[in-house]
Amino acid sequence: MPPTVSRRTLALAGLAVPLIELAGTGDGPLLTVIAGVHGCEYASIAAVRRWVRGAGRRELRGRVRVVPVLNITAFAARSPFVVPEDGKNLNRCFPGRPDGTLADRLAYDAFRLLIAGSDAVIDAHCGDLVEALYPFTLYDAGPAEDRARELAVAYGLPYALRQEPGPQRAVAGSTSAAAAEAGIPAIIAEAGGCGLVEEAAVRLHVAGLNGVLRLLGMADDDAGVAGRPDPEFLDRSLWLRSSLEGWWEPSVRPGDRVAAGQSLGTIGTLDGAETLETITAPATGVIMFLTSSPAVASDGLLLGLGIAGS
């Protein structure tokens, strides 16, 4: 028998956020799937919408909670990276605060009502409107790390990046970091980008979520995801920024392996006459994501480099 499917809205920080709940016919874990923490990451939102329709027709044990778009005001406003009301990146605000601005309160309510109490949390992302990326998962050090790593493997993307707390962590205040601190296994899964609903990226996320169902023992059929290769594990990432504003012209693509000292691109003047800055790789690694827009501000984010070994 397929699960009981209910669709309603959940009040989070005073916003009506769409929620889909699947109640399986047998006992099992509670899996929470979130997308749209960034409101313009359409491939991951599309994938979660598609996946939950399919999951609703399968035999399931346990319960699934799905929020296809958490940051709904960013979605409505087509606001990349931030909650438009306060300009904060929601994925730097977890576990949130009840007395802060909208992003803090949304993170607080989402943590309390969705992440807390879950046996596993998947937060599906992709590159934002002006970001191209190579598919990877991200998991955090902490008491639930072994299970989080298993979730990353089950999701089946080519790279899995581990993050440790402290200044080395590129992403603090994320869903997965806050979950890790609370002992809840969680991953951030990244595939797709540039404001596109690319079918290949959507399929990677759908297969990833099916891999998670299988890992958690929530479905008997494997939906064709058994036997995928393990990801390559990365131990840290470096985010490179421009020192000057100008025209960004990368010479590498997401997924490229680069050597320490290799040129990764340039910042030039808008008139095209001069190169202001050449960006070089500070270490050997793989390009996880890069800013696809040529327009960069001073101290603007250019790319993320994933590195194996510490």
Residues that bind Zn ion (CB under 5 A): 38, 41, 125
Q: How far is the CB of 36 from Zn ion (least distance, A)?
A: 9
Q: How far is the CB of 28 from Zn ion (least distance, A)?
A: 28
Q: Which of 226, 154, 179 is closest to 32 using CA atoms?
A: 179
- Beta bridge partners, 236, equal 307
133 or 287: whose CB is closer to Zn ion? 133
Q: How far is the CB of 288 from Zn ion (least distance, A)?
A: 13
Q: How far is the CB of 275 from Zn ion (least distance, A)?
A: 31
- Beta bridge partners, 63, equal 23, 30
Q: How far is the CB of 26 from Zn ion (least distance, A)?
A: 33
125 or 147: whose CB is closer to Zn ion? 125
41 or 140: whose CB is closer to Zn ion? 41
Burial (CB count within 10 angstroms: exposed 0-12, middle 13-18, buried 19+), residue 241: middle
Q: Which two tokens stand for residue 44?
A: 């991951």
Contact predicate 119/31, CB 8 Å = yes
48 or 219: whose CB is closer to Zn ion? 48
Place of tokens 């979605």: 75
125 or 162: whose CB is closer to Zn ion? 125
The 10 Å CB-count burial string (b at 16+, else e) for 77-102 is eebbbbbbebebbbbebbbbeeebeb
